[in-house]
Structure 1
Amino acid sequence: MNLAEILERNTLRIPQNSAVISEDVHWSWKEFNTLVNRMGNALQGLGVRKGDRVGIYLPNSPEYLVVYFAIAKIGAIAVAFNIMYKGAEITYIINNSEATALVCLDGEPLRNVVGVVGELPTLKHLIVVPARAASGSNSTAVFSAAFPVLSYDKLLGAGEPVLAAVDCAADDVVTILYTSGTTGQPKGAMLTHRNFSDNAKLNAFYTLHINDQDRFLTGTPFCHIFFVLTVLGPIYKGAAVITMPRFFPDKALELISRFRVTHFAGVPTMYIYMLQTYAAHPELYDLQSWRFAQAAGAAMPAEYIERIEQTFQVGFCECYGSTETSSTCTYGRLGHGKAGSIGPAAEDWEVQVVDGGNREVACGDVGEIVVKGPGVFRGYWKMPAATREAFTDGWFHTGDLGRRDEDGYFYIVDRKKDMLICGGYNVYPREVEEVLYSHPAVLEAAVVGLPDPVKGEIPKAFISLRPGQQTTAEEIITYCRSKMAAYKVPRLVELLPELPKNMSGKILKRSLKATSQSDAETG
């Protein structure tokens, strides 16, 4: 089998249908598959073979998709880089994965790589994609003397247009995705052709309610596991993928309007900003084509779900998964969701909530979510001990705390590592955040635990306000006291213009916590 065979199927069945669309290109399936073949042949001409690792250091773009499927088609392994990574992060991942080739964007990304190229002994080929948005860029010429670079356009032009997909075993690795590395260095999750094919099929046929006339846009980066849902799922059905290099709420609404997008997926923060942007100028957008909205990556505050459905007139679905599960392992059934729930287990998946002894807990009790299913990864690259620690009797430990109701719907309570113990009581930050989001002045909220000499830990809330709204820390604390038990109430509240986020739009709680602890130590 080979993941890239889905392109072949679409090319045979619907060759002239739209496949990839951006502000610069509009490719049919036949055109897209031919470009993938050319790049695959070019990579083979450079000596890239089955099992070799090839890095992708590109923003969301048509070129990203060409490179990704070319790597898969020749049986090599794609190593996805966040476009925000800098020298140390690039060095670690290339050296850990032993990548022999890297495809990167001209401009700052190329400068980042060239700055550390002397520390990358396995890297043989550096392929540069022109930064088309930056007219007059000449960084390739400047840096070509320091390290030989190859032109993406020239390689593509010279590659032959016909290429047979390399036959791979189902458990051959197709992608290595590096986790965020909350402790120590990032771990490379090995995802296989079967993992991605099966979860792409799950998303295509069940989660997304999508067909080959639809168009899919996402604000999340392709280097994230969301790729399986937002790219592979639509492509499995033959739907077109719209690329947007970076999420901006006005740009997302503009592209939905211009390209008649039917499906959008993002993290909760993206929807919050899109609601805000649309409310300010609804006359700028025509969203009649949009019918399906999907969220994952973080918990969607319950009060926003109804606003999304009513404002944008879309069906809403919340999914749950992780890098190690190839995205979706539970999802809310369209029209049958429960506010705050991540839905029942997905087809062919088993999901349990267990205690510290790995025993399933009673309905309604909180425990760790563990899963079994076709998307569960093969293990961590060159980390056998960490791989063993992640499993118990074949069940993958997600690290998320949750509960199950009597109807089989699951609810995320919090990350296991985020739970804090205040005076002997368990406090789940997400529960406190839900109360904060219900305050009419609050736009965004995050709660972390801080050390306390008496209570052990105390909750601190960080919030940003809706435009034109005002409040105080004291008023927020008083509001929380009226809504929840005293031990859950934030002892400290800090108002910020905006909460820090990563490229995926997730709020960076670690950054907030580290800054607060540093301030406390120096204060």
Structure 2
Amino acid sequence: MGAKPWLQHYPAEVPPTYDYPQQHLAQFLVDSAQRFPEQTALDFMGAKTSYRTLLDKTYRFANALRNLGVQQGDRVAIMLPNCPQAVIAYYGVMLIGGVVVMTNPLYMPREVEYQLRDSGARVIVTLDLLVDRVNKAMEQHPLDYTIVARVQDELSFPKNMLYPLKAKKDGTAVKVNYNERIISFKEMIKKFQPVPYMAPIDTENELALIQYTGGTTGFAKGVMLTHRNLIANTVQTHLWFYRYRVGKERYLAALPFFHVFGMTVLLNQAISLGGTLILLPRFEINQVLKTIDRERPTVFPGAPTMYVAIINHPEVGKYDLSSIQVCISGAAPLPLEVQNRFEELSGGKLIEGYGLTEASPVTHANNIWEKRKNGSIGIPFPDTEAMIVQPDTLEEVPLGEVGELAVKGPQVMKGYWNRPEETFKCLHNGWLLTGDLGKMDEDGFFYILDRRKDIIIAGGYNIYPREVEEVLFEFPGVEEAIVAGIFDPYRGETVKAFIVAQSGVKLNEAELKKFCKERLAAYKVPKVYEFRDSLPKTMAGKVLRRRLIEEEQAKSDKEQK
């Protein structure tokens, strides 16, 4: 790895290397609370929490955990949507030197059981609505403690009174039977004083987080991220967003914090800069548009599907999006049409970046205000090296050729939890093999063609789904599109397109196919089209290609029977 052609495209304000603070991750919150005690840290459906109050509650929570016997190095699961208790629990666990295990609130009992048992977590912080699910998951292996948060406990009057009534009407109201093992979050922190405490840690080596990957093949793996990993990536995002205003940025937190992208570019970044997090428990398009119009966020990281939903909303013109200055899109490829339309509507910058859980997660991004390239994930972050290699030999491929993306930097994980063989497969002398196929151009801009496992091989030809999807997105009336390889007795695999039409639009398969034929080599043109009302997605808005492939496989198996 010699030349780094991307450095010539760094803005003058962005240093290619930086001295990252050797500190505890929770120091971000402590520092911001000292600098901006009365600044709003969290805005949760109108209920505002200042930095002073947030730190106060976090110290109380940390002391309550210590009283329960939670020690340095113990794993504590957090299974919450974006709400104040998620932030308090996250930094509270960190303060005592515990290891956070972020868990998706949508997980079913089998998934919860696997994650808690694999990580060795004995304590979980979850919602009252999810207590039964956790109990069912851990029936055979009861937890030491389940700490129960309620949404209404962090709402202001009169919403805190109305919320339980609405839940009763909706049939979502639950009664929790509290006991010595099932504890109220609200009551727990009331009992303890906000005495400052921060466990001494080895930032380079001690874990802050075990973050489970999606587990699209087999069981999910726990990615071990240290305090240094998460601090470095948070600071790298600051350096890239060099026009930030300390204490003044407002972050629309629609990406979930339990996804590492949301955790870094929203939670850790906003708290470290003394910004305000406008918390949304889930992405609901009407609520998002109203919130942007009313709360005036300046930063809105998201997944492409979020921007797709906004630009295709029939009444988007009624809402003022002009407060948004910067958006970084991750978790999936960003179609050019979506980028252009969103920038027209908001007047802000929407750039594509790239990352993976194993890198905390961001490694590349396009410049926000300087040179960027369409279809590219951009250039490596400060102190981040990248190259395209032959997966088998790890030799760098010639410029412009396709290979596997490998990355190296302070944000790269320590390894997989209790999986030395898996760690050995993807970590080599600090280089992380990403599993993504890509190429680099002469300017040092990188392009992701697809996951190695998502590549479609039809009649011996390699087909990269992203290239086909970009064309489908250009067709008038297409709101969402994803392609996958399905079994074909002659070609081995063939390309199938799953399409969601814009509201009120009726799409024609023959016209779509003709459109693709004019823009793609014949072997890349989708042979099968399926029109759907929606596509399966994660809570972070990433379309689950693997689930579509599994559905197709199940259909094929049924037909063969």
TM-score range, shorter chain: over 0.9
CA distance in 2, matches of 1:223, 1:370: 25
* Residue of 471, 489, 500 corresponding to 1:435: 471
Where does 1:97-496 land on structure 2 (aligned, <5 Å)?
Answer: 97-107=119-129, 109-121=130-142, 123-132=143-152, 133-135=163-165, 141-144=175-178, 148-170=181-203, 171-207=205-241, 209-211=243-245, 212-226=247-261, 227-277=263-313, 279-283=314-318, 285-335=319-369, 336-356=371-391, 357-496=393-532
| 2:97 counterpart letter in structure 1 | G
With normalisation by structure 2, the TM-score equals 0.89
C-alpha offsets along residues 407-446 of structure 1, whole Å, 9 cap, x if unaligned?
1111111111100111111101111111111111211111
The 1:304–1:116 alpha-carbon spacing in structure 2 relative to 1, beyond 3 Å, is closer
CA distance in 2, matches of 1:412, 1:326: 18
**287-296 vs 379-388, greater mean Cα deviation:** 287-296
Is the CA contact 1:128–1:140 (under 8 Å) kept in the aligned structure 2?
no
Q: CA deviation at 1:24?
A: 4.5
CA distance in 1, matches of 2:321, 2:506: 31
**469-478 vs 324-333, greater mean Cα deviation:** 469-478
Is the CA contact 1:210–1:234 (under 8 Å) kept in the aligned structure 2?
no
Count of matched residue pairs: 518
3-state SS of paired residue (2:376): coil
CA distance in 1, matches of 2:381, 2:551: 39
CA distance in 1, matches of 2:440, 2:86: 39
| 1:127 counterpart letter in structure 2 | I
The 1:417–1:281 alpha-carbon spacing in structure 2 relative to 1, beyond 3 Å, is closer
* Residue of 58, 77, 87 corresponding to 1:36: 58
Q: Unaligned 5+ residue runs, structure 1? A: none
C-alpha offsets along residues 356-387 of structure 1, whole Å, 9 cap, x if unaligned?
32111122211110000011011111111111
C-alpha offsets along residues 202-228 of structure 1, whole Å, 9 cap, x if unaligned?
112324742221110132111101111
With normalisation by structure 1, the TM-score equals 0.96
The 1:281–1:418 alpha-carbon spacing in structure 2 relative to 1, beyond 3 Å, is closer
Is the CA contact 2:125–2:149 (under 8 Å) kept in the aligned structure 1?
yes
| 1:159 counterpart letter in structure 2 | F
C-alpha offsets along residues 159-199 of structure 1, whole Å, 9 cap, x if unaligned?
21122211111120001111111221110001110001111
**229-238 vs 294-303, greater mean Cα deviation:** 229-238
C-alpha offsets along residues 255-285 of structure 1, whole Å, 9 cap, x if unaligned?
12222211111100000001122x52422x2
Is the CA contact 2:225–2:413 (under 8 Å) kept in the aligned structure 1?
yes
| 1:175 counterpart letter in structure 2 | L
Is the CA contact 2:82–2:253 (under 8 Å) kept in the aligned structure 1?
no
CA distance in 1, matches of 2:406, 2:535: 30
CA distance in 1, matches of 2:59, 2:294: 30
| 1:195 counterpart letter in structure 2 | N
CA distance in 2, matches of 1:10, 1:40: 18
Q: Unaligned 5+ residue runs, structure 2? A: 1-22, 153-162
Aligned-residue CA RMSD (Å): 1.6
Asked if residue 8 in structure 1 is aligned to residue 41 in structure 2, the reply is no
CA distance in 2, matches of 1:460, 1:125: 47
CA distance in 2, matches of 1:495, 1:471: 8
| 1:354 counterpart letter in structure 2 | V
C-alpha offsets along residues 379-405 of structure 1, whole Å, 9 cap, x if unaligned?
111111111111223210111111111
Is the CA contact 1:40–1:163 (under 8 Å) kept in the aligned structure 2?
no
CA distance in 1, matches of 2:333, 2:93: 33
| 2:139 counterpart letter in structure 1 | G
The residue number in structure 2 matching 1:500 is 536
Seq. identity, %: 36
3-state SS of paired residue (2:301): strand
The 1:208–1:116 alpha-carbon spacing in structure 2 relative to 1, beyond 3 Å, is farther
Q: CA deviation at 1:521?
A: 2.7
Is the CA contact 2:83–2:151 (under 8 Å) kept in the aligned structure 1?
no
Is the CA contact 2:178–2:184 (under 8 Å) kept in the aligned structure 1?
no
